[in-house]
Structure 1
Amino acid sequence: MKYMRYYETLYLIRPDLEPEEYKSVIQKYNKIIEDNEGIITKVEEWGKRELAYEVEKFKDGFYVLVRFCGDADLPEKLQRDFRIDERVLKFIVIKLKDKVNPEELKGEISDEKSKDEEVKAKDGSK
């Protein structure tokens, strides 16, 4: 059984992008995680929000939160790409847990999805 580290990254995308390009940024970083044998457990698109202060002359941006499992070098690879991608204004990667079993997290992923579906069903029934 291979243990992995559990990470969370939050990144801020420029607000002046077209919706297709915004989606392609998210897909790019999800692909980097998956191509490096990472397992994505959660992707939350928080949408466009106002910033506390200007970042590169922008007053707002699109926030994306991703939780994933991966090897110790995966955050470094992500951060390198975040730095050179002009579409990403800010980012942070945090280690949540040192040793996790990816098999156990797969159960959490399915539980999370069923909770999300319940919430959507309740919202739709109002």
Structure 2
Amino acid sequence: MSTTTVQRPRTTARRPGPLATTVAAWSSAALVATGFAFVATAPIAVVAAGAWRDPQLGPARVWVTVLATAQATLLLVWRTADDPERSLTRSLDPVVAGAVVLVAVGTAVTCHVQRRRSRLAQGPLVQA
């Protein structure tokens, strides 16, 4: 039994969505859920940049926009409060934190599905 590797021409090959976007989306959900809401701003920025830069992640842009807006709103409310807490996580209501986690998970699932679809659309790399 022999296998031959088929190389596709560069002009027609579609690359899957960036893995960094998917990983950052999952990590932002994990960071908010575990009490590191302020640190979750960095992965959310990576997700936003990746989704708006990659055309294959077009369906994820709505989720990314909602996630980035939610995080920006949290930061704005936290900093403009009369007596802000020392930590963003301490000032978060658990329901709001749960909502941000749900939006982050929705974003991560959408990025994951879009990445998977683009990989499946490429077809097999190895022919038997």
Name the TM tier (shorter chain).
under 0.3
Q: Which has the higher strand share?
A: 1
Q: TM-score, normalised by structure 2?
A: 0.26
Higher-helix-fraction structure: 2
Rg bigger for which structure?
Answer: 2
